[in-house]
Amino acid sequence: MKDDRELFSLDCPIFKGGIIAYTKQLATTLAQHSIRANCLSLGGLQETAPNDYFLPRYNQRVPLGRMATGEDVAGPHRFPGLRYLRLYDGTQLGR
């Protein structure tokens, strides 16, 4: 049996945190030019789950109890382009 430590390495949260921090920095820096910066911050995507060992263990550890599906992310990816949301800047949308 595989070691569960392989299941949740630090790689993903470190990179995810870096992208969120970078997005906030971009938003702050570029706001004076009327340029917005936002990011989608999703959990695992079911279509890319590595194997049958990973999926049930992942699902047990996340609040939603499942990975995201393509349907879950179909709407939010349009978020930055919506005109009525122009007040959002430096925002993390997702989990």
Q: Could you tell me the residue ranges of all domains in the chain?
A: 10-94
* pLDDT tens digit sequence for 43-55: 788 877 777 888 8
pLDDT for res 25: 93
- Mean pLDDT of all residues in 54-68: 86
pTM of the model: 0.61
- Mean pLDDT of all residues in 74-83: 60
Confidence band, pLDDT 50/70/90 cuts, at residue 3: low
CATH number of 10-94: 3.40.50.720
For 15-45, give one letter per residue: b (16+ CB within 10 A) or e: ebeeebeebbebbeeeeeeeebbbbbbbbbe
